[in-house]
Amino acid sequence: MPLHIETPLIVSRPLSLRTGKQVWLKLDALQPPGSFKLRGIGLACETQAARGKRRFVSSSGGNAGIAVAYAGRELGIPVTVVVPETTTAHARHLIAQEGATLVVHGASWQEANAQAQSLLDADTAFIHPFDDPLLWTGHATLIDEAVRSGARFDAVVVAVGGGGLMSGVIEGLRRNGLGRLPVVTVETHGADSLAQAVRAGERVTLDAIRSVATSLGAKQVCEQAFALARSHDVRCHVVTDGAALDACAKFLEDHRLLVEPACGAALAAAYEADAPALAGIEAPLIVVCGGATATLDQLAAWRAALPPAACPATP
């Protein structure tokens, strides 16, 4: 029995009317810890437990850390999550709520991660947030479910941070005989490490993350994601923070689910005026990847802090 659940797959009436397409939504926001991350992380944790590991360590203050904490609790294996001081009180609460030991260390993720690495020993598994073949194989179950349910989609829309989800989606398409379907990858400006890498023809490293979509904030995508962007029909799309936040608000209104801007970015591909990212696509499957770390107040604060130019007027 995997640790993740099979999530609902629906046709969105509001998004289908808005775009003139058949828009499928895979609602992974409904995974118990709030994001798709449990698919891959659940498989990685189960596999490490079967290998005899007796403790898990994560250095993610985001959805990956929450998913490791959840998986450890389910498996009866203690988890330590090391996060930097910048991690919000809400994210700390979500990790602690899963029963993990929370260690706050350092001003940035680099320092927290170094501390996490110093905790490793032969009995302990470090669970990476995106760069591990086990994660991709676990994430691929999202496509298995969509195919099994009979959904007839002709492209997948997916948000990209470090590229673990994208790698899993493409693995899932290929193992279901759908390796020819295009994948639209969406990032926000300031967290667009895949789009920049594809443009440069090499895996660039961003000097900083400048976006409210913190879950997309990997300065460099994993090698697998970069390689797949070259061997698969991958179409990179980049949206503004304003568009991602708008999509979160509209999605809350349309489907009553609160998601992070990281997920709002993927939804923005359909909510943006004229949906340019979906040109030539008739039935997109949007991965509603979720995210548990942003509250309604936080979303409003980000919106209020946007520079006016990036904030489209609401009618």
Ligand X SMILES: *Cc1c(COP(=O)(O)O)cnc(C)c1O
Under the rule (CB under 6 A), what is the footprint of ligand X? 35, 37, 62-63, 130, 159-166, 215-216, 218, 260, 262-263, 289-291
Strand partners, 126: 57
Closest to ligand X by CB, 284 vs 290, is 290
Instruction: Report the residue number, 19 or 63, with the smaller CB distance to ligand X.
Output: 63
Smallest distance, ligand X to C-beta of residue 308, A: 27
Which residue, 13 or 93, has its beta carbon nearer to ligand X? 93
Min dist CB 30 to ligand X, Å, is 13
The residue among 106 and 290 lying less far from ligand X, judged by its C-beta, is 290
Angle at 301 (CA atoms; ends 295, 306), nearest 5 degrees: 130
> Closer to ligand X at the Cβ: 22 or 40?
40
Torsion of CA 264, 270, 273, 277, to 10 degrees: 100
Least CB distance to ligand X at residue 279 (A): 23
Q: How far apart are CB 83 and ligand X at their closest, in Å? A: 15
Record the tokens describing residue 282, joined without a space.
Answer: 């008739």
Closer by beta carbon to ligand X, 97 or else 118? 97
Pick the closer one to ligand X by CB: 22 or 302: 302
22 or 165: CB nearest ligand X: 165
Please report how close the Cβ of residue 260 comes to ligand X at its closest, in angstroms: 5
Give dist(CA 147, CA 126) in Å, integer: 32
Amino acid at 152: R
**Nearest approach, Cβ of 315 to ligand X (angstroms)?**
28
Query: Beta strand pairing status for 124-126 and 234-239?
Result: unpaired
Q: Taking the complex as a whole, how short is the minimal distance between the CB of residue 183 and ligand X, in angstroms?
A: 12
Q: C-beta of 17: minimal distance to ligand X in Å?
A: 26
